[in-house]
Amino acid sequence: MERRTFLAGGLAALVLSRSTDAFAGTTATVTSLAELQQAINNATAGARIVLKNGSYAVPSGSPITISGRHGTSTAPITVTAESRGGVTLTGPHSIVFANSSDLVISGFVFRQSSTLDIPANSPRIRLTRNDFALAASTGHWVVVRSDDVKVDRNVFHDKATVGCYLVIDGPSGTAMARRTYILRNHFRDHSFSGDNGGEPIRLGVSSRALSDAGATVEYNLFERVDGDPEAISVKSSGNTVRYNTIRSSLGGIVLRQGNDNRVEGNYLLAGSNGIRIYGNDHLIVNNYVGGVSGAGIVLGSGSVRDHYDGESDDSRKGNDAPDRVTIVLNTLRNNGQAIVGESQRTLPPLGCRIADNLLVGDGEPLVDMPYQQGITWAGNIVWGSAAEGNLKGFKRADPKLVAGPDGVYRLGAGSAAINAASASSLVSDDLDGQARTAPYDVGADEYSTVQPVRRPLTASDVGPGAA
């Protein structure tokens, strides 16, 4: 009787396995580029194509072409290496997309010499768990022009020439690619030595600055990205940049153009630049900037009051003076300065609020804001031997910061920052992912004795091997 029960259970499991395989589509394992191309040409929704491990030289003029292939949201077409990192693609090109959708490209080592382009006619493409270090390339490595693209758990590394690791662009004209999701990637070792043009991520471009991209850039790690002062360069509107870690890098987070962007819960550690802001209606909240040689936050000045549809190219490339920017609940510790402005342009910030930030330092004056008339200050706390500069709306009190094992300084028991915020709104949790309770604590950390939910990212949290 026990034997009959076992056999019945095994048969049921076998039937379930077969039905699942049928629902997911077929799997084809191929051993050459010719076989790979044939399998792609025949692929339908749910197909999984596995290329055997090895190094493949993609011939000039004959790239791997995915054209007219369409998966679905629940049954994408997947093209994958036999094992993660087991397939290397070399040559002028690797994969070329055209008029396709709902595809997954996974596990490859890209060593081609030209840009991997996701065109506007190929939405819902996912690049996951790949290794990008393109050969002898002076251009951008990956350019996204279509909607709903996901770039996750990849590593981009070792670029010494001009060009970005990842560009989010759009179709022709002024439109942006929409809803790009950039998650748990490792951007490291960009060593281009020019003054401009080596960003790890460029999210938009001046001609598209007023377009709503709706991108989310979260849980990415940037290390030694020195190709540009902007590690995350935002040149579009309506984006969220959160929970990223930038470490030991020239680049910071820069809202260079565009409006209504949210910068939340990021760690910027031991680098050169913090967060720099132009444009309107941004929220800068819950960020921790520690040990950067420049300022923790720069609230810029403008060469134009506001960008507008139909303005000239030269005008659009100018700096949009910040209006209605909210800078609250950030911790700025031991940077060159805490918060500074700019005087090299004539248009000042207007209607901006700087409140409930924790500013700690021992060197230069914490605040140097040349234009004061457009700023409201409230509830900030300063500490350390540095003078406050021309900061307004503050008190000097001991936050009793305590270093954690991750090197981040958080509030200790009896901190003057506890329950000291002037307002309670805009966020439900703090830098660590712990709940905020009214009245909020000043700075990025809400005092707690439990372990943080979020911490600065390390290499094990991102890239092809990340969970």
Reported as a single tens digit per residue, the pLDDT across 25-67 is: 799 999 999 999 999 999 999 999 999 999 999 999 999 999 9
Residue at token pair 């200790």:
412
Minimum mean pLDDT range among 15-29, 84-98, 357-371: 15-29
Q: Confirm if 321 and 348 have CB atoms less than 8 A apart.
A: yes
The CA-atom distances, in angstroms, between 440 and each of 300, 330, 363, 435, 436 are: 27, 12, 28, 10, 6
Average pLDDT for residues 288-293, to the nearest whole number?
A: 98
> So what's the pLDDT on residue 100?
98
| Res 173: pLDDT | 85
pLDDT over 70, % of the chain: 95
Question: CA-CA distance, 122 to 66, in Å (whole number)?
Answer: 10
Taking residues 385-404, report their average pLDDT. Answer: 97
Specify the pLDDT at position 230.
Answer: 98
Q: Determine which of 17-21, 93-97, 229-233 has the lowest per-residue pLDDT on average.
A: 17-21
Tell which wins on pLDDT, 26 or 82.
82
Q: Which two tokens stand for residue 203?
A: 């999210």
Q: Is the pLDDT of residue 20 over 70?
A: no
| Rounded mean pLDDT, 68-81 | 97
Report the predicted TM-score, pTM, of the whole model to 2 decimal places: 0.94
Region 403-415 average pLDDT:
97
Asked if pLDDT for residue 168 goes beyond 90, the answer is: yes
Both tokens assigned to 467: 């969970």
Q: What pLDDT score was predicted for residue 19?
A: 29
Distance CA 251, CA 269 (A): 11
Q: Would you place residue 211 in the very low, low, confident or very high pLDDT band (cuts 50, 70, 90)?
A: very high
pLDDT at residue 337 is higher than 80: yes
Is residue 389 scored above 50 in pLDDT?
A: yes
Please tell me which residue, 108 or 20, carries the higher pLDDT value.
Answer: 108
Q: Is the pLDDT of residue 138 over 80?
A: no
Domains and CATH numbers, the chain: 115-407+449-461 (2.160.20.10)
Q: Over the stretch 420-453, which tens digit does the pLDDT of each residue have?
A: 999 888 899 999 999 999 999 999 999 999 999 9
Task: Output the pLDDT for position 66.
Answer: 98
Three-class secondary structure of residue 377 per DSSP: strand
Mean residue pLDDT across the chain: 93
Residue 22's pLDDT is what? 22
DSSP conformation class of 5: H
**Mean pLDDT to the nearest integer, 306-314:** 91
**Is 50 exceeded by the pLDDT of residue 18?**
no
The DSSP line for 141-201 is SEEE-SSS-EEES-EEEEE-SSS-SEEE--SSSSPPP---EEES-EEEEE---SSSS--SE
